[in-house]
Amino acid sequence: MFFSLWQVGLDIQMSGVRALAVLKRRYGWQVRYWWYHPLDKGVLQNGNLHKPEKLTEVFRLLAQLLPKNISLRINLPAQRILQKSIPKPDKRLREPACREFIQFNAKKQFSINDQTLSLDYRAPIKNSTSLLMTAAHQQEINAWQNCLENAGLKPNVIDISPCALRYMAAEAKLSQEHILLHQLENEWLWTSPLNTPFRYGLISGTQENIIEELRCVYSDGYRPMSQIYYTGLLEVAPPKNTIPWSPFLAFKQFQPPLPALPMSFALAGGLAVRPKDF
């Protein structure tokens, strides 16, 4: 199926906002537009929104450059996402009992009133006996939505950064056996290989020791660490023994100029090409 509606991925990080708009064509993905705007210091800190009015101003600039009818996808900051595993409900359970079972277990795992959380869950692998639960504070989601709506933008999809990274890697036809590593301003986001159960995390480290830090985290309870694909927000040399890649590998048509640092659009691109929910 091919679409005439722009799919726009909006990646919001501490240093700036990146947007990538694509169309699905018969021959593949076509990049329609890309956009970057830096953020003032203090607007966003460790995933927390401190100056929503400043972010709204940036969103208004973007809204003026986009068509009225788009499919807008945004990511929640990885720093603000909670993750736990819970037992999978018995197959014999039907709604609403199944939902109540999941909510009861989520409340125990997160030790927070479930009414304050927005919950999502998935089986990490086929035939798994557990569910991977992700949660975000509903108040924080509302704050992001208010910023966008005050600028005349309405998100159709809200996802998390690790999933966006995996969507982009899949569309770029990267090896499914390699770990994905994405450098943020102060942290590193990693996700498990595409052919393994979905796992992710945030770790601290320098360019020199990040691979060893990742090895300690990833090898603890998982299979031995494989090779690593690298993307990031910063114009620095990639860590040793990593494989840099560009999300623009997935796009069949785009007009120059490209961004100065194409790999910094990995999350925006992943959101843009994210499959629709049915």
Q: Is 265 left (phi over 0), alpha (psi -120 to 50) or beta?
A: alpha
Domain identity same for 68 and 85? no
Domain membership of residue 116 as a residue range:
81-137
Query: b/e map of 102-140 (b: 16 or more CB within 10 Å)?
Result: beebbeeebeeebeebbbbbeeeeeeeeebbbbbbbeeb
Q: How far is it, in rounded angstroms, from Cα 181 to Cα 185?
A: 13
pLDDT digits over 106-150, tens only?
777 666 655 576 766 665 545 556 677 777 888 889 999 999 999
Determine the pLDDT at residue 143: 92
Residue 278 pLDDT > 50, yes or no?
Answer: no
Across the beta sheet with 228-232, the strand order is 200-203, 188-191, 179-183, 228-232, 242-244
Domain end among 116, 137, 158:
137
Domain identity same for 194 and 263? yes
Structure-token match 């990646």, residue found: 11
Question: Would 37 be classed as within a structural domain?
Answer: yes
| Coil, helix or strand at residue 273 | coil
Question: Would 243 be classed as within a structural domain?
Answer: yes
Domain identity same for 48 and 163? yes
Domain identity same for 211 and 116? no
Q: How far is it, in rounded angstroms, from Cα 78 to Cα 94?
A: 32
Domain identity same for 147 and 94? no
| Coil, helix or strand at residue 258 | coil
Domain end among 111, 137, 163:
137
Question: Would 277 be classed as within a structural domain?
Answer: no
- Grade residue 88 by pLDDT with cuts at 50, 70 and 90: confident
The predicted model gives 7-22 an average pLDDT of 96
> How many domains, in total, are found in the chain?
2
Q: How far is it, in rounded angstroms, from Cα 21 to Cα 33?
A: 5
CA distances, 172 to each of 67, 166, 175, 256, 273 (Å): 26, 10, 9, 19, 10
List beta partners, residue 11: 18
Question: Would 278 be classed as within a structural domain?
Answer: no
| Coil, helix or strand at residue 169 | helix
pLDDT digits over 142-182, tens only?
999 999 999 999 999 999 999 999 999 999 999 999 999 99
Domain identity same for 215 and 266? yes
Question: Would 248 be classed as within a structural domain?
Answer: yes
Q: How far is it, in rounded angstroms, from Cα 223 to Cα 225?
A: 6
Closest C-alpha to 205, from 194, 218, 224: 218
